[in-house]
Amino acid sequence: MSGQAEGMVDKVWNVFSSMKTGLVLLGVIALVSGIGTLIPQESMDPQKAQSASEIFKMMGFTHVYSSVGFRLILGLLCVNLMVCSIQRFGGIYNQTYKPKLPSALSTLPQKIQTKVTGKANQLQQVTFDLFKLEGYRLTAEEQEDHWSFVAQKHRWGNWGSFLTHISFIVLVLGALVGSMTGFKGYFSAGVGDSLSIHDIELNRGTVTDNFNIKINSVEDRMLANGERDNWYTDLSIMESGKELARQTLSVNHPFTYQGITFYQANFTQGGKFTVEIKGQKIPIVLQNQGGNYYQVPGTDLFIIVSAIKPDPNQPVILYQVYKGNSPQPVKMGQMNKGQTDTIETTFKLTFDGLAGYTGLQVKKDPGVSVVWIGSALLMLGLILSFYFRPVTISGIIEKDTEATLTLGALSGKLKSRAEEELDKVARQIKDKLDQ
């Protein structure tokens, strides 16, 4: 049984260590990503996703990125990259820190070679001194009939592709952590409103935190020349009536609390009102163009604002009052700031002035820090790959009276560069010998 188990493990290992497996998984990911790009996703545009074809919804095409299948494919790709990286690690480590010395002329790189002749001791001294002067790391060994050595420059470049592969693993893991443990949502609120973090409209994920959000002020600031400055929201984090944090956020200047980030998404003009009923005065904020409504307590009357003239000095609003499910308003009117209207002898409505209505996106993504680490690894891998391309030159000096130095360079993908470096070294050695 143990032999069968080991055989199965070897088969699975061979599958995940195959480049073909990686290419197939990348192809599937590209196909699924194409579907997610062409078909609106619930996590990005809920309204468009709802209007998508019922067939697409049934097949799960409107939430492909959050599906178990897509996450499974990403996980399999991570496994494939990890297995390939594990297999390559030993070779890269030995190539960087424990290069194999040539034991005979036949073990030198054959594609790019050159020879230099001279007296044995002088040839050895000049060669070793020159490599060190040119910034090479030299590993040498003396045998009875020859000296063998390996000279390395930019040996850290060997790790470039390895770090690039590792970075993709970290990036995928960061994306998975964010999609599985975070959330993304939206809410709209007026000045003075307070709501629980659980009341926001979620596009994905689940809220596990527990606190309230209070909107202290909302402002659409204008510059002296009449151009818009920015939208500003003064927001407090509340818990058990105690203010835990407070900050003013604006477009491109979010506010983060315990890993939850609030982004200024939009601004809508609104009006502040006071509803007076049975001796009780209730402050409310209504959004322009019927963005929200208020039901008067103990009645089936609903108030909306249909239009606003946002003049800071003389604001004017148009309001409508509906009763029950009636499609026609039972009352509509125009009010200036400070004006009060009596509605059906039931309650009084006073327009107190303009009030902003803010729209905020809320996002928690624990995978962001992991993604940043992956991005840093990717950048480091690319820098090592493109700007620190390793050069490895092996050589053997035969201990004859007229010794021969045979040099061979590993060409890799840039054969011309290896040839240039080898010719340069050989030429400098000859010049030193002639001096």
259 vs 311: CA distance, rounded Å: 39
Q: What b/e readout covers 269-293, taking b as 16+ CB neighbours within 10 angstroms?
A: bbbbbebebeeeeeebbbbbeebbe
Query: pLDDT band for position 364 (50/70/90)?
Result: very high
Query: pLDDT band for position 246 (50/70/90)?
Result: very high
Same-domain pairing of 45 and 150: no
**100, part of any domain:** no
pLDDT of residue 213: 96
Same-domain pairing of 145 and 253: no
Domain end: 364, 380, 403, which one?
364
Same-domain pairing of 217 and 129: no
184 vs 361: CA distance, rounded Å: 8
**133, part of any domain:** yes
What's the longest Cα–Cα distance across the chain?
A: 122
**373, part of any domain:** no
391 vs 95: CA distance, rounded Å: 11
Residue 118 has pLDDT above 80, yes or no: yes
Tally the domains of the chain: 3
More confident residue, 367 or 413: 367
Residue 85 parent element (H or E)? helix 68-97
For 193-228, write each residue's pLDDT tens digit.
899 999 998 877 889 899 999 999 998 888 888 788
Domain end: 63, 93, 123, which one?
93
**176, part of any domain:** no
Query: pLDDT band for position 319 (50/70/90)?
Result: very high
Q: What is the mean pLDDT of the chain?
A: 88
**404, part of any domain:** yes
Same-domain pairing of 197 and 316: yes
Residue 398 has pLDDT above 90, yes or no: no
Residue 234 has pLDDT above 90, yes or no: yes
% helix / strand / coil in the chain, to the nearest 5? 40, 35, 25
Same-domain pairing of 195 and 298: yes
**274, part of any domain:** yes
Same-domain pairing of 316 and 396: no
Query: pLDDT band for position 139 (50/70/90)?
Result: very high
Same-domain pairing of 264 and 195: yes
404 vs 426: CA distance, rounded Å: 12
Instruction: Give the residue carrying structure tokens 């009010």.
Output: 335
Same-domain pairing of 134 and 258: no
CB 148 within 8 A of CB 161: no
Query: pLDDT band for position 35 (50/70/90)?
Result: confident
Same-domain pairing of 197 and 270: yes
Which residues lie closer than 8 Å to 363 by C-beta, 6 or more apart? 182, 183, 184, 185, 260, 261, 263
CA dihedral 201, 207, 211, 213 (to 10 degrees): -20
Same-domain pairing of 342 and 243: yes
111: CATH:
3.30.160.110
pLDDT of residue 412: 66
pLDDT of residue 257: 95
Neighbours of 309 (CB within 10 A): 13
Same-domain pairing of 256 and 301: yes
pLDDT of residue 65: 80
Query: pLDDT band for position 407 (50/70/90)?
Result: confident
Residue 250 has pLDDT above 90, yes or no: yes
* Structure tokens belonging to residue 321: 């009052």
Domain containing 264 equals 183-364
**165, part of any domain:** no
Same-domain pairing of 412 and 345: no
**410, part of any domain:** yes
Question: Up-side HSE of residue 148: CA atoms within 13 Å toward CB?
Answer: 14
Residue 351 has pLDDT above 90, yes or no: yes
